[in-house]
């Protein structure tokens, strides 16, 4: 792969987008109002809803949809609004936080859920809080504006999600998600129905680190985050589903955004294309290499990413969208002696030189076909690939250790939804994936800090193409207005391990009153071994899937139309868990364990200039490496997690927000003594994960100021992380000198960190 060429292409894309922005600004007249447009569809059948009523809350402005379910409201004074959408036979809903900017069009997409005849017995309304029909529990949905204004996130979607109930952070230096005591590689990430292997820059599969999302938040229509009990249409992951939906380019005019902050520079353009289509395109270039150069740091990390979407309505029944993205991460370190650290920081071997390239891409086509008034199909054809190359060594041999890893997949998915009756929805689908993997690696002999010998090794894993096949069937039944039941079953087969698994799932929701619902879920969730795990040793071909069994109950209560309280109790049984060896690369399925906890959350939507949320989680995550071994706290266990967020609109041009986070420290293994082998002192470890890091807490504050000019708008913000400069410890490393004295060194998270950002909208 020619990384310099890819980098040059992305740089050129940024220049072109910037030029388009300036040209667009010069052509726009002095229009002091903005526009809202969008479409309204049935949430089950995706049929357009003709003559749906659209009104802007608090104003006299409104309209109705046309025969395609489309609407436009013009001449709107720039401000933040709520849209109320109503249609006979459907549950009315409200879309909050619709920001109108002068000389621009704001696009929205609305889906209404059908009501039932019996609905008169209980006045259940959609309001500001809506859930997918087939997911009654453990889900949180966020809008683009909620993502943008979240303090302490620098507008990164994954850092925003770290403040949700059931999610723990690995610290400010990582954007990875740790969900209900599971590891980051147990999370399924989808972008417009296309699976993404690695959605975060500078993170690799199986690692807990990673700096920033590869997706520009301005591209997102919204996200659905399921922390457990997800329906049968999702598979091969044990902890969560993170589903991102890209916006479609708007049909009314061209919009352009240019963004710059401490992390990088990005540009985006969207608008109509000939032939009843729309487009959106974004490219970004990170600044981390420039910052490390200014700070005289030895490492020079840099990243690039680009995302595009093209959508066409071929006719009233057929819509095709083409989606693609590419990212590239590079790190170079030369001439500085730095201790090599494995995942457990186990060795003392010195590597002065490092080059690391990570890259990933995905592109695919989604075809939605409305083949009857009560049914539609969604077919996805996609290619996904990622890989990385690493060389580490000394001045005399810069390739003492290295790896070259690639995994590509070709996917075909089809999902059919049929509204059999007014109260019965059936969904069925199939999935076929072809996997092409390559894994070569080598490393010299080494010794752990406890004196164990690790022999030199070389891996060459070049398997024949394997495949995964999945089918699922599920239904959602609402026999009466207060009750909804979703049941399903999924079958997965992995040709490489010759293993088939059946996953039953069921969930229900019952409205005790018009404001309070009781929800419950049960399901089995299998996760197959990944290629990077199988490749480590020939014996790893014997690995089977790990299994998590979820049990969840909860209650939702609406205190007000814009304020919701939720409490959930969950338990996950874990079996066939992958277990690693300290001195070899052989993995087994001998592990078992559990994760359980209770979560409380209160959420207020952005209404009347105020937004906020509070959540508290009490949890335990424990593992055993074999049934006859002792139980220990899993590395991602955090007993207490508390998050408090708030935001206020001080005026039409000033906003301020804050976020306070508190979490118990992660478990770690302390050094308890010294042993001497062959005249060399080594650390003796205590009981595995028997100690805790200090508690983690910090306060972040964000201030936004909007400047409105003749034909464009500029938003400047200060996102101040860790305001009181708390020294949060992320890990400890211990070593012993020749005299037998142990030195334990903490690795700290970011101290106080100001992030300045600018966003220009044309």
Q: What percent of the chain has pLDDT over 90?
A: 48
Beta bridge partners of 22: none
More confident position, 305 or 710: 305
Indicate the SS3 state at residue 290. Answer: helix
How far is it, in rounded angstroms, from Cα 304 to Cα 302?
7
Indicate the SS3 state at residue 218. Answer: helix
Q: What is the pLDDT of residue 480?
A: 86
pTM: 0.88
> What is the separation of C-alpha 450 from the centre of its chain, rounded to a whole number of angstroms?
37
Superfamily of the domain at 3-16+137-761: TonB-dependent receptor, beta-barrel domain (2.40.170.20)
Contact in structure between 122 and 514 (CB atoms under 8 Å) = yes
575: pLDDT strictly greater than 80: yes
| CATH class of the region 31-115 | mainly beta
Q: What is the pLDDT of residue 31?
A: 53
Indicate the SS3 state at residue 573. Answer: strand
Contact in structure between 221 and 246 (CB atoms under 8 Å) = yes
401: pLDDT strictly greater than 50: yes
How far is it, in rounded angstroms, from Cα 390 to Cα 558?
52
Q: Which of 692, 636, 640, 633 is nearest to 662 (CA)?
A: 640
Q: Give tens-digit pLDDT for 350-364.
A: 577 888 888 899 999
446: pLDDT strictly greater than 60: yes
More confident position, 376 or 298: 376
Q: What is the pLDDT of residue 273?
A: 92
Beta strands in 528-587 (DSSP E): 546-560, 563-579
10: pLDDT strictly greater than 60: no
| 160: enclosing H helix or E strand | helix 157-161
Beta bridge partners of 660: 644, 699
Contact in structure between 61 and 55 (CB atoms under 8 Å) = yes
List, as one string, the DSSP characters of 302-326.
Answer: EEEEEEEEEEEE-SSSEEEEEEEEE
Read off the pLDDT of each residue in 298-326 and give the average, rounded to a whole number: 90
2: pLDDT strictly greater than 60: no
Q: Which of 133, 163, 138 is nearest to 230 (CA)?
A: 138
Q: What is the pLDDT of residue 338?
A: 42
How far is it, in rounded angstroms, from Cα 456 to Cα 599?
46
Phi, psi of 619 (to 5 degrees): -150, 160
Q: Give tens-digit pLDDT for 153-201.
A: 888 888 889 889 989 887 778 888 899 999 888 999 999 999 988 888 8
126: pLDDT confidence band, cut at 50, 70 and 90?
low
Contact in structure between 719 and 702 (CB atoms under 8 Å) = yes
What HEC string does 375-408 produce?
A: EEEEEEEEEEEEEEEEEEECCCCCCCEEEEEEEE
Dihedral angle sign, alpha carbons of residues 282, 288, 293, 294: positive
List, as one string, the DSSP characters of 466-530.
Answer: EEEEEEEEEEEEEEETTEEEEEEEEEEEETTTTEEEEEEEEEEEEESSSSEEEEEEEEEEEEPPP
Contact in structure between 157 and 167 (CB atoms under 8 Å) = no
How far is it, in rounded angstroms, from Cα 261 to Cα 290?
13
Indicate the SS3 state at residue 246. Answer: strand
Q: How far is CA 147 from CA 267, 494, 669, 734, in A?
A: 18, 37, 36, 39
257: pLDDT strictly greater than 60: yes
> What is the separation of C-alpha 590 from the centre of its chain, rounded to a whole number of angstroms?
29
More confident position, 380 or 207: 380
Lowest mean pLDDT among 45-49, 246-250, 442-446, 472-476: 442-446
Q: What is the pLDDT of residue 51?
A: 93
Lowest mean pLDDT among 85-94, 166-175, 495-504: 166-175
- Greatest alpha-carbon span in the chain: 85
Q: Give tens-digit pLDDT for 214-227.
A: 888 888 888 999 99
Average of per-residue pLDDT values in the chain? 86
How far is it, in rounded angstroms, from Cα 201 to Cα 245?
19
How far is it, in rounded angstroms, from Cα 456 to Cα 445?
4
Beta bridge partners of 757: 261, 717
Q: What is the pLDDT of residue 124?
A: 45
Contact in structure between 761 and 715 (CB atoms under 8 Å) = yes
Q: What is the pLDDT of residue 132?
A: 78
Q: How far is CA 97 from CA 303, 605, 612, 649, in A?
A: 31, 8, 13, 12
How far is it, in rounded angstroms, from Cα 206 to Cα 388?
13
| Torsion angle of the four alpha carbons 48, 49, 50, 53, in this order, in degrees rounded to the nearest 10 | -140
Phi, psi of 104 (to 5 degrees): -135, 160
| 440: enclosing H helix or E strand | strand 424-443
| 680: enclosing H helix or E strand | strand 680-685
Ordered by start, the domain boundaries in the chain are: 3-16+137-761, 31-115
Q: Give tens-digit pLDDT for 660-715.
A: 999 999 999 999 988 888 788 888 889 999 999 999 999 999 999 988 887 788 88
């Amino acid at each position: 792969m020619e990384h310099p060429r890819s980098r040059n292409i992305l740089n050129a894309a940024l220049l072109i987008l910037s030029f388009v922005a300036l040209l667009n600004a010069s052509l726009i007249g002095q229009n002091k109002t903005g526009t809202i447009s969008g479409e309204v569809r049935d949430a089950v059948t995706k049929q357009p809803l003709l003559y749906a009523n659209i009104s802007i809350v608090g104003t006299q402005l409104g309209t109705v949809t046309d025969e395609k379910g489309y609407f436009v409201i013009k001449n709107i004074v720039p401000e933040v609004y709520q849209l109320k959408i109503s249609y006979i036979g459907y549950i009315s809903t409200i879309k909050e936080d619709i920001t109108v900017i002068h000389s621009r069009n704001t696009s929205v997409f609305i889906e209404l859920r059908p009501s039932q005849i019996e609905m008169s017995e209980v006045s259940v309304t959609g309001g500001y809080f809506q859930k997918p029909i087939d997911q009654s529990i453990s889900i949180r949905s966020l809008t683009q504006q909620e993502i943008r204004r979240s303090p302490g996130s620098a507008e990164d979607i994954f850092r925003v999600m770290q403040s949700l109930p059931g999610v723990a952070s690995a610290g400010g230096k990582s954007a990875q998600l740790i969900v209900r005591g599971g590891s980051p590689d147990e999370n399924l990430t989808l972008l417009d129905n296309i699976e993404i292997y690695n959605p975060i820059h500078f993170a690799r599969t199986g690692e807990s680190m990673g700096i920033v999302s590869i997706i520009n938040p301005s591209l997102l229509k919204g996200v659905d985050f399921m922390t457990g009990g997800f329906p049968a249409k999702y598979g091969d992951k044990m902890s969560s589903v993170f589903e991102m939906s890209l916006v479609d380019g708007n049909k009314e005019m061209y919009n352009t955004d240019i963004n710059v902050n401490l992390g990088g520079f990005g540009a985006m353009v969207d608008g109509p294309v000939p032939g009843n289509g729309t487009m959106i395109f974004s490219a970004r270039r990170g600044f981390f290499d420039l910052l490390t150069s200014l700070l005289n740091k030895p490492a020079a990390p840099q990243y690039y990413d680009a995302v595009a979407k093209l959508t066409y309505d071929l006719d009233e029944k057929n819509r095709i969208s083409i989606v693609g993205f590419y990212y590239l991460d590079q790190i170079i370190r030369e001439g500085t002696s730095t201790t090599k650290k494995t995942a457990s920081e186990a060795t003392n071997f010195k590597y002065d030189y490092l080059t690391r390239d990570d890259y990933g891409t995905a592109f695919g086509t989604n075809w939605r076909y409305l083949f009857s008034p009560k049914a539609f199909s969604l077919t996805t054809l996609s290619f996904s690939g990622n890989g990385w190359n690493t060389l580490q060594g000394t001045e005399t041999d810069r390739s003492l250790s290295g790896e070259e890893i690639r995994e590509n997949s070709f996917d075909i998915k089809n999902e059919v939804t049929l509204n059999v009756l007014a109260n019965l929805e059936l969904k069925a689908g199939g999935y076929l994936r072809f996997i092409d993997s390559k894994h070569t690696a080598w490393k010299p002999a080494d010794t752990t800090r406890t004196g164990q010998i690790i022999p030199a090794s070389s891996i060459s894993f070049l398997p024949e193409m394997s495949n995964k096949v999945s089918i699922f069937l599920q239904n959602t039944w609402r026999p009466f207005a207060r009750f909804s039941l979703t049941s399903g079953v999924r079958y997965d087969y992995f040709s490489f391990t010759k293993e088939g698994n059946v996953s039953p799932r069921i969930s229900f929701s019952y409205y005790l009153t018009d404001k309070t619902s009781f929800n419950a879920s049960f399901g089995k969730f299998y996760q197959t071994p990944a290629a990077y795990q199988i490749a480590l040793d020939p014996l790893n071909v014997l690995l089977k899937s790990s299994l998590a069994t979820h049990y969840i109950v909860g209650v939702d209560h609406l205190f007000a139309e814009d304020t919701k309280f939720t409490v959930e109790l969950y338990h996950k049984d874990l079996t066939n868990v992958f277990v690693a060896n300290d001195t070899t690369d052989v993995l087994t399925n001998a592990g078992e364990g559990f994760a359980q906890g209770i979560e409380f959350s209160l959420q207020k939507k952005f209404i009347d200039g105020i937004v906020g949320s509070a959540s508290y989680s009490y949890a335990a995550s424990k593992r055993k490496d074999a049934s006859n071994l002792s139980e220990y706290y899993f590395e991602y266990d955090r007993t207490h997690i508390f998050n408090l967020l708030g935001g206020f609109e001080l005026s039409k041009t000033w906003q301020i927000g804050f976020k306070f986070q508190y979490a118990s420290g992660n478990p770690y293994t302390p050094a308890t003594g010294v042993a001497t082998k062959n005249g060399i002192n080594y650390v003796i470890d205590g009981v595995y994960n028997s100690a805790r890091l200090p508690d983690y807490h910090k306060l972040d504050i964000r201030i936004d100021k909007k400047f409105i000019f003749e034909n464009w708008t500029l938003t400047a913000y200060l996102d101040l992380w860790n305001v009181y400069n708390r020294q949060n410890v992320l890990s400890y490393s211990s070593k012993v000198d020749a005299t037998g004295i142990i030195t334990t060194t903490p690795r700290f998270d970011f101290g106080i960190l100001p992030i300045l950002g600018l966003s220009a909208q044309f």
